[in-house]
């Protein structure tokens, strides 16, 4: 299972990708055939396909979740609402729907770090984080997150204090989990817009931490 089909490998890992180009063209042909047949038979509308892609390319992505986290950092009442009824609190910012129908927010603390996985498929909170990254759906992540989460975190360059407990949430049902990362020190009085810039996608899955104000991960 490849984390990247034809893109660069940012961390220089060298996997055997000898078959990649034939697999790629095979996929392109397979998907083109499916699309042609479905459109010709009238089962799907071509402009609906374009509208779906446009939605997930431009409107639904991890900046939505970053705004939710920033609001929770800035507003204790919102944070309490998010912890009690995440679906409603998130909907109040205009996010909800497919693959986010039943949301739960889990909060990182100095004692406990949360990490979200779907070992059985690719369950992921789309309205707040967008489409899952390839690594989230990869065998490497799905197999190891539940047995060796510290090893997974190391792949992301994250080392937690040994005493910090790790709490892994395997999304085996229709509940979707959003990690509320710890607010970096030195951000007192920041606007929600500025705070949202510190919230990375990975920090909301639990494979990362929020950025610290100096630019490096906190």
Q: Which of residues 158-197 bind other proteins (CB under 8 A)?
A: 162-175
- Please state the closest distance from residue 189 (CB atom) to other proteins, in A: 27
- How many angstroms separate the CA atoms of 188 and 73, rounded? 10
Considering only the stretches 69-77, 148-156, 178-186, 209-217, report the one whose residues sit in contact with other proteins under the rule CB under 8 A.
Answer: 148-156
CB closer to other proteins, 23 vs 93: 23
Exposure of 165 in the CB half-sphere (CA atoms within 13 A): 7
- Please state the closest distance from residue 190 (CB atom) to other proteins, in A: 21
Helix (H, G, I), strand (E, B) or coil at 80: helix
Alpha helices, DSSP H, located in 10-138:
20-40, 46-54, 62-74, 76-84, 86-91, 126-129
Q: Are 106 and 180 in contact (CB under 8 A)?
A: yes
Given 67, 71, 79, 142, the residue binding other proteins (CB under 8 A): 142
1 binds other proteins (CB under 8 A): yes
C-alpha dihedral sign at 112, 154, 198, 85: negative
CB closer to other proteins, 88 vs 147: 147
Considering only the stretches 70-78, 126-134, 178-186, 187-195, report the one whose residues sit in contact with other proteins under the rule CB under 8 A.
Answer: 126-134
* 145: number of Cβ within 10 Å: 25
Looking only at the bridges linking them, the beta strands covering 165-170 and 175-180 are: unpaired
DSSP character for 184? P
Given 18, 22, 76, 98, the residue binding other proteins (CB under 8 A): 98
Given 150, 182, 211, 217, the residue binding other proteins (CB under 8 A): 150
Residue with tokens 């789309």: 126
Catalytic residue among 122, 138, 171, 191: 122
- How many angstroms separate the CA atoms of 176 and 125, rounded? 5
Q: Spell out, one character per residue from 25 to 44, where the chain touches other proteins: x when CB under 8 A holds, - when not.
A: --xxxxxxxxxxxx-xxxxx
- Please state the closest distance from residue 169 (CB atom) to other proteins, in A: 6
Spatial CA neighbour of 85 closest among 108, 103, 99? 103
Catalytic residue among 25, 36, 92, 121: 121
Considering only the stretches 55-63, 67-75, 178-186, 190-198, report the one whose residues sit in contact with other proteins under the rule CB under 8 A.
Answer: 55-63
In the residue annotation, 118 being an active-site residue is answered as yes
- Please state the closest distance from residue 24 (CB atom) to other proteins, in A: 6
In the residue annotation, 22 being an active-site residue is answered as no
Catalytic residues, by residue number, are 118, 121-123
């Amino acid at each position: 299972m490849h984390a990247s089909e034809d893109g660069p490998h940012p961390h220089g890992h060298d996997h055997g990708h000898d078959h990649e180009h034939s697999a790629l063209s095979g996929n392109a042909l397979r998907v083109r055939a499916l699309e042609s047949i479905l459109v010709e038979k009238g089962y799907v509308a071509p402009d609906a396909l374009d509208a779906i892609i446009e939605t997930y390319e431009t409107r639904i992505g991890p900046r939505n979740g970053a705004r939710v986290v920033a609001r929770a950092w800035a507003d204790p009442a919102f944070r309490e609402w998010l912890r009690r009824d995440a679906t409603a609190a998130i909907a109040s910012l205009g996010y909800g729907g497919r693959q986010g129908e039943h949301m739960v927010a889990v909060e990182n603390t100095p004692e406990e770090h949360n990490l979200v996985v779907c070992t059985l498929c690719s369950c992921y909170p789309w309205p707040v984080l967008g489409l899952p990254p390839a690594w989230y759906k990869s065998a490497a992540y799905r197999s190891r997150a539940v047995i060796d989460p510290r090893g997974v975190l190391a792949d992301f360059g994250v080392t937690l204090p040994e005493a910090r407990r790790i709490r892994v949430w395997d999304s085996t049902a229709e509940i979707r989990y959003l990690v509320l990362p710890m607010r970096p020190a030195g951000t007192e009085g920041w606007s929600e817009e500025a705070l949202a810039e510190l919230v990375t996608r990975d920090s909301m899955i639990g494979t990362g931490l929020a950025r610290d104000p100096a630019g490096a991960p906190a």
